[in-house]
Amino acid sequence: MTSAERTMRALPSARWQRWPGWVARATLLWGVLYAAFGLACALSGTSLLPRGGDSAAAALSWAVVATGTLATTASGAVVRYGLRPALRVLLLVTCGLAGITAFSLLMDVITLLFGQGVDHPAATANKALAAVGAGLLAATARSDRAGEATGTTGIGSIGNTGGTAVRAPTAAPRAVQLAAWAGTLAFLPYTAMKLVWASGGTFAGLTGAETLAISERNGASGVFLTLESCGLDPTALLAALGVFLLWGLVRPWGQVFPRPLPFLRGRRVPRWLPLAPALVGAATLAPYGVVGVGYLALAAADVVTIRPGDFPSSGDALLVGWIGLVAFAVYGLALTVAARSYWLRTRPARRAGVGAE
């Protein structure tokens, strides 16, 4: 590779390493847009809740306005005065609010991929905007520390990436890899159950033909129904992709593009590429699974009653619930651990002796 080619490949990386200089302005713009979105929904009476009364829907719209206003205030102060400890706390609190709002975004994405469309477009748009904002707010809250690591000196700085070095691909610690194994094995019963139905078998009192009819009645897309009729359950395929993402976060091969891609040979995978889906998946599946397992434990103890729904009995519904929610909980927690490890292992390293006379 010539020197010119190496320089051209380094330019995008150098630009992205200067993100601490512009992320606060991006967060400021997001805060203004998010507050305007919430205000428009509140004034027009557009509900941001798939289910719920008018009062709850109105309260959520005004909560969106408040979250956007807090983000605008905090990021605007960072742009003007720099990142102070009090502003960091405000940014993190607002990030938490946005993260809570973005909950279940992954479920909407799956519905959009394999269904006729999302059930509530305004609610899905709100979750997507909140997820973007949570990322921007978190990045702004740590922009000063990242700036020190990458050589970017502050908001609006041109930056100097000469003081950083790309870390060599490394595997996650043994404990993190054990968590990845747990997340992988947790999906085996779920995948087996789905494939039994997709192949025409019977499980928990439902035949494959009955599950296909239920999917069609619930508005599944033609792609979903075609895969099901061919013996391939789409959610099992998504589980396989999730396991691939999990191991990409903990193994060295997840940090470089594969050799069969000659136009990308030798290029590092941008950190955000695996981290973005990992964070969305972890933020959705971990709380969804953990809360669901808690509810199933109450149902097993006869504290609450679980409805059979499409299943012949409540016991069948409880069995399927255990298989699905335990898989989501364990995988979601494993994904959280793996994403944190990947984040730490792929941080730019400070070159020793840079800046020394």
Domain presence at residue 2: no
What is the rounded radius of gyration, in angstroms, for the C-alpha atoms of the chain?
23
Domain presence at residue 3: no
Query: Distance (Å, rounded) from C-alpha 208 to C-alpha 196?
Result: 7
Query: Distance (Å, rounded) from C-alpha 325 to C-alpha 337?
Result: 18
User: Do 128 and 269 have their domain in common?
Assistant: no
Q: Which of 164, 188, 209 is the last residue of a domain?
A: 164
User: Do 313 and 180 have their domain in common?
Assistant: yes
Q: Is the Cα torsion angle 35, 36, 37, 38 positive or negative in sign? A: positive
User: Do 183 and 45 have their domain in common?
Assistant: no
User: Do 182 and 294 have their domain in common?
Assistant: yes
At residue 51, the pLDDT reads: 67
Cα of 99 vs its chain's centroid, Å: 10
Nearest CA among 85, 91, 89 for reference residue 28? 91
> CB of 10 within 8 A of CB of 48?
no
Query: Distance (Å, rounded) from C-alpha 18 to C-alpha 25?
Result: 13
At residue 321, the pLDDT reads: 94
Q: Which of 132, 164, 196 is the last residue of a domain?
A: 164
Domain presence at residue 123: yes
User: Do 149 and 199 have their domain in common?
Assistant: no
Domain presence at residue 134: yes
The boundaries of the domain holding residue 242 are: 174-350
Domain presence at residue 169: no
User: Do 247 and 212 have their domain in common?
Assistant: yes
Q: Whole-prediction pTM value?
A: 0.77
User: Do 178 and 123 have their domain in common?
Assistant: no
User: Do 98 and 221 have their domain in common?
Assistant: no
User: Do 214 and 250 have their domain in common?
Assistant: yes
User: Do 203 and 343 have their domain in common?
Assistant: yes
At residue 203, the pLDDT reads: 93
> Structure tokens of 286?
């971990």
Domain count for the chain: 2
Domain presence at residue 94: yes
Q: What residue spans of 102-173 are helical by DSSP H?
A: 105-114, 121-141, 143-150
User: Do 147 and 267 have their domain in common?
Assistant: no
Domain presence at residue 356: no
Domain presence at residue 130: yes
User: Do 203 and 344 have their domain in common?
Assistant: yes
Q: Which of 164, 192, 215 is the last residue of a domain?
A: 164
From first to last of its 357 residues, the chain has per-residue pLDDT tens of: 444 444 444 444 455 456 677 899 999 999 999 999 999 999 998 888 876 566 777 888 999 999 999 999 999 999 999 989 999 999 999 999 998 888 878 877 777 766 656 668 888 899 999 999 998 998 899 887 665 555 554 554 434 445 556 678 889 999 999 999 999 999 999 999 998 998 889 999 999 889 888 888 877 777 777 877 777 788 888 899 999 999 999 999 888 876 655 555 557 788 888 988 898 888 889 888 999 999 999 999 989 988 888 899 999 999 999 999 999 999 999 999 999 999 999 887 665 544 443
